[in-house]
Structure 1
Amino acid sequence: MELVAPVVEWLIVAFVFAMGLAALAVVVMFLLDISQREDAVRRNYPVIGRFRGIFTKLGEFFRQYFFAMDREEMPFNRAQRDWVYTAAKGQGNTVAFGSTKNLSIPGTPIFVNAVFPPLDDQFALTKPLQIGPYARHPYMAPSIFNISGMSFGALSQPAVEALSMGAKEAGIWLNTGEGGLSPHHLVAECDIVFQIGTAKFGVRDHDGNLSDDKLRAVASKPQVRMFELKLAQGAKPGKGGILPAAKIDAEVAEIRGVPMGKDAVSPNRHAEIDNFGDLLDVIGHIRDVTGKPVGFKTVIGSSDAYEELFEMIRARGPECAPDFITIDGGEGGTGAAPMPLMDMVGMPLREALLRMVDMRDKFGLKNRIRIIASGKMVNPGDVAWAICAGADFVTSARGFMFSLGCIQALKCNKNTCPTGITTHDPHLQRGLVPERKYIKVANFAKAVVKEVEMIAHSVGVAEPRLMRRRHVRIVQANGDSIVLRHIRPSFGGDDLPASLNPNTAPVQAPDSRK
């Protein structure tokens, strides 16, 4: 008891002291709030008004974990993310009791299962598809599902290394994004698509112009299979890339050729490309210098503008055509973009893809130009829809970020990513171990392809690229669904009504007079 009394006294003193400090802090905050002139709420309600700011910042996290339903959250809901997480772990994605997906929402795709689907032993795997028949080194692309452009700098070193190793394991390509080719892209010798952005990072000379010598140096690496000229991306069409200064360390600065301490802002377009003729000239030049297939990535504002491109290709000849066109939807994402561009500029992928596919097929270039769909494609249903619509390949960026462990913290532009994916803070990066995460990247890619093949088998075809618009229905505003080919007939032939199909001769009745 003799020892207890002094301890209690000290605890009382400590408590009183702590309360005194707390009271002093409240008084200081009161005086600061009532005297400041920037925030009206804090000025009118000193101290208490501070809780509004705290709750506003915490609101997105509380909604994500406690309040939002599985299929409500944006930009990706919990059901979408959970599918990726489960697939990345290599676990089965079977569910019990019934679907939680609301099938009455307009725009929802519903696949048309065959009455008599192929038997299980008739199931065929996805076949490789050639890109760039006029290039000296065409690319036989093995997978329909690949990794979209994400730059080193926007992503951390361990994230890029995990993607490289995962791509090699899954047999898919990895797009470098516009930030140049880093050693981390090459750690696993996976297939690489080198993206040339408007700033030409990695292949620019001292004046910022395209350097043929640097193009040859990049093309000399056998892992680099194709070059993609980025005209625009979905999150910010009409504006160049933005890498915040906080994410530019010495290595990023050296690879990109930019100074540290200031944002790296790419031009809004390629200065030397003023029209479609210039675009075809630059594509042809890069293909001649590198010997590799070359295409371009863009966002469609109006498909009418691209009529001139295809007319020009027809006049010049198929050898001048881009080897592929990547269509990014206006709903695409990025680490940093102005909200008006992200929210309101650019045609959504579900409309843009159909328009570009039809334009290509209308001019008879289906077997010459490959179409790559990009934009919020993270689940098998998304990929299967894109293939039905006419895409030859689908790429995803954020899907693979989820496979790395992204929790949609929405901190990509602040160098504070809690999962180590989009930060250059060594303390945060240590949480991402490439030697473990790459397996999840590969599992996710394999799961998507497997389940797209499953959908293809269910609708009655032996290979995903044999799916057509007749194999998917789209839910309308009244709740009914309509086959996609009736909403937008294709120029591919077999999806057209017989009366409009140039490849289908009408059946002639025998002439009784003969």
Structure 2
Amino acid sequence: MPDAIRNLTFTLVEIATFFGAAVVAILVVWVAIAYVIDITQKKHAIRRNFPVIGRFRYFFEHLGEFFRQYFFAMDREELPFNRAERAWVYRSAKNVDNTVAFGSTRNLTHAGEVIFLNCPFPTLEEDAVPPREITLGEGFARTPYSTSSIFNISGMSYGAISRPAVLALSHGAKEAGVWMNTGEGGLTKYHLEGGCDLVFQIGTAKYGARTEEGALSDEKLVQIAAHEQVRMFEIKMSQGAKPGKGGILPGGKVTQEIAAIRGIPEGKSSISPNGHPEIRNVDDLIDMIHHIREVTGKPVGFKAVIGAYGFLDTLFKRIHERGLEYAPDFITIDSADGGTGAAPQSLIDYVGLTIKESLPLVVDKLMEYGLRHRIKVICSGKLITPSGVAWALCMGADFIVSARGYMFALGCIQALQCNKNTCPTGVTTHDPELQKGLDPANKAVRVANYAKKMAYEVGVIAHSCGVREPRELRRYHAHIITDSSFSTSLETLFPTRQVRPEYAEEVVKLVQSE
């Protein structure tokens, strides 16, 4: 009997050993197959850069839905962009179903939240029209720029983001019919390759348009403007995430190619001046705008985060005194909660006004001085979903631009490593091993999908409000929740400004000329 038991035990051990070996063999084969699939596919940067291991991200992300119910933060409590916002961008970029079930996870009584007022008789599909075309620089630039695009790509320089990221954005922008801002790092062949419309940004260091001494080069401006794709020029005065501080590109991201494009030493941190040496007052700003427009023949504006806003009165008065030909063709307003690849936390957290305050302030000042028709308004700052874009249109913006929204479309997972050259998705790194995970052809499709989906869903909001197209949205179409948990109209909070009497006649002439 003991021998029988021993034999049975031995047999069971053999069977267990066999099955164990089989499981291990199957696991090894699966890992090998998964590795080959992951390393060769081009749709998912995380899986390509981190084969096999990267697959667990999706598993844990799925489990997170259950764990967050009991232990962790809910979808709308993550920062700087919560999971609900990022998920909307991801789904849009992948062109998958973007509907949700069971009800909103948004706190509809939280102060500051925006609610749009649906019309009892919404716009029918057959009555809807495409967004109207807007022309910048008409009558003042030799080559004005006309576009109907609403949601465009904000400034991200080659250096701050990678070569495949620039390529994907360029091709995606062309497909979607939106423009792309070069950022302050200069114009590259990667920006041009996709064929999209471009806005050339002139930062405080004048990268790509500077003399050997660092001054603005008219010769290089002419060369840049010769590219038909370069539609406008933007003077970067300040950036929302770091107002009062110039661009910062860590030395580890200054490759030989980037150094050549910028005209700086390889491997040395690129620190732009915290302001333009040539622009120390309002008249200097006006002079530079006018000069660049004369040299290039194309619309010129400036970008700034609004802080001390008294200069706006001085600026707009001087424009009237010197003539409308000295006005910027557009003003890009950046928000204090804007993004960046690297900045001091003291500036990110504590300096500048957010777009919720600065956008209506600038729009109202333009109306007050009768310059609203002459100067177009572009706004930026955490506007990555349809509600934010629709709100900006209600407040008077002509265009919205986004950087981080399009980064999410490229596959960014908010790893917060933009300043370390270790971005796991290849968006903000120049490490070839990490860049290979970002396939430009695949991500270009996602960029285009995101832009198109945004235009469509902003249109859905507009049609619900009873207007034919998004640019017909006005302040009375939206409410904002107050501290009392009740809402009030944006028009009540920001009543429409009347034109100052001394400028009324000039406004009439300008409107008639349009």
Q: State the TM-score, normalized to the length of structure 2.
A: 0.83
Is residue 281 of structure 1 aligned with residue 311 of structure 2?
no
Structure 1 residues 284-433: aligned runs within 5 Å: 284-433=290-439
* 1:318 positional shift: 1.4
Q: Which amino acid aligns with 2:311?
A: A
* 1:305 positional shift: 2.4
The CA distance in 2 between the partners of 1:373 and 1:121, in whole Å, is 30
Which whole-Å deviations, capped at 9, do the CAs of 1:19-58 have from their partners, x for residues lacking one? xxxxxxxxxxxxxxxxxxxxxxxxxxxxxxxxxxxxxxxx
> Which residue in the other structure is 1:490 paired with?
496
* 1:405 positional shift: 0.2
Which whole-Å deviations, capped at 9, do the CAs of 1:351-387 have from their partners, x for residues lacking one? 0001000001111111110000101110000000000
The CA distance in 2 between the partners of 1:164 and 1:457, in whole Å, is 30
* 1:492 positional shift: 6.9
Is residue 453 of structure 1 aligned with residue 462 of structure 2?
no
Out of 111, 120, 126, which is 1:121 matched to?
Answer: 126
The range that moved more, 62-71 or 372-381, is 62-71
Conserved? CA contact 2:282–2:311, under 8 Å: no
> Which residue in the other structure is 2:191 paired with?
185
The CA distance in 1 between the partners of 2:498 and 2:199, in whole Å, is 28
Q: Secondary structure at the match of 2:377?
A: strand
* 1:400 positional shift: 0.1
Any stretches of 5+ residues in structure 2 without a counterpart? 1-9, 11-62, 500-506, 509-514
Q: Which amino acid aligns with 1:322?
A: P
Q: Secondary structure at the match of 1:358?
A: helix
Out of 218, 221, 227, which is 2:227 matched to?
Answer: 221
Is residue 444 of structure 1 aligned with residue 450 of structure 2?
yes
Q: Secondary structure at the match of 1:473?
A: strand
> Which residue in the other structure is 2:135 paired with?
130
Q: Which amino acid aligns with 1:284?
A: H
Q: Secondary structure at the match of 1:200?
A: coil
Q: Which amino acid aligns with 1:332?
A: G
> Which residue in the other structure is 1:176 paired with?
182
Structure 1 residues 101-120: aligned runs within 5 Å: 101-120=106-125
> Which residue in the other structure is 1:147 paired with?
153
Q: Secondary structure at the match of 2:77?
A: coil
Q: Secondary structure at the match of 1:213?
A: helix
* 1:63 positional shift: 9.7
> Which residue in the other structure is 2:27 paired with?
none
> Which residue in the other structure is 1:201 paired with?
207
The CA distance in 1 between the partners of 2:407 and 2:378, in whole Å, is 19
The CA distance in 1 between the partners of 2:288 and 2:357, in whole Å, is 28
Q: Which amino acid aligns with 1:383?
A: V
Is residue 162 of structure 1 aligned with residue 168 of structure 2?
yes
* 1:316 positional shift: 1.4
Structure 1 residues 454-493: aligned runs within 5 Å: 454-491=460-497
> Which residue in the other structure is 2:29 paired with?
none
> Which residue in the other structure is 1:81 paired with?
86
Identify if the C-alpha distance between structure 1 residues 415 and 191 changes in structure 2 by more than 3 Å, giving closer, same or farther: same
Q: Which amino acid aligns with 2:219?
A: D
* 1:421 positional shift: 0.3
* 1:124 positional shift: 1.2
**Coordinate RMSD, CA, aligned:** 1.8
> Which residue in the other structure is 1:59 paired with?
none
Q: Secondary structure at the match of 1:71?
A: helix
* 1:431 positional shift: 0.1
Q: Which has the higher contact order (CA 8 A, sep 6+)?
A: 2
The CA distance in 2 between the partners of 1:94 and 1:172, in whole Å, is 25
The CA distance in 1 between the partners of 2:384 and 2:221, in whole Å, is 32
The CA distance in 1 between the partners of 2:259 and 2:133, in whole Å, is 37
Q: State the TM-score, normalized to the length of structure 1.
A: 0.83
Conserved? CA contact 2:253–2:267, under 8 Å: no
The CA distance in 1 between the partners of 2:493 and 2:272, in whole Å, is 39
The CA distance in 2 between the partners of 1:243 and 1:118, in whole Å, is 48
Which whole-Å deviations, capped at 9, do the CAs of 1:212-269 have from their partners, x for residues lacking one? 0000000000100000000000000001000000001000000001101221000000
* 1:180 positional shift: 0.2
The CA distance in 2 between the partners of 1:343 and 1:393, in whole Å, is 26
> Which residue in the other structure is 1:241 paired with?
247
The range that moved more, 255-264 or 383-392, is 255-264
Which whole-Å deviations, capped at 9, do the CAs of 1:263-316 have from their partners, x for residues lacking one? 100000000111110100000000000000000000111322211000111111
Identify if the C-alpha distance between structure 1 residues 123 and 205 changes in structure 2 by more than 3 Å, giving closer, same or farther: same
Which whole-Å deviations, capped at 9, do the CAs of 1:166-224 have from their partners, x for residues lacking one? 00000000000000001110111100000000000000000000000000000000100
The CA distance in 2 between the partners of 1:246 and 1:68, in whole Å, is 34
> Which residue in the other structure is 1:43 paired with?
none
Q: Which amino acid aligns with 2:130?
A: L
Structure 1 residues 59-98: aligned runs within 5 Å: 67-98=72-103
The aligned length equals: 436
> Which residue in the other structure is 1:34 paired with?
none
The range that moved more, 159-168 or 95-104, is 95-104
The CA distance in 2 between the partners of 1:491 and 1:457, in whole Å, is 26
Conserved? CA contact 2:387–2:458, under 8 Å: yes
Q: Which amino acid aligns with 1:112?
A: L
* 1:95 positional shift: 1.1
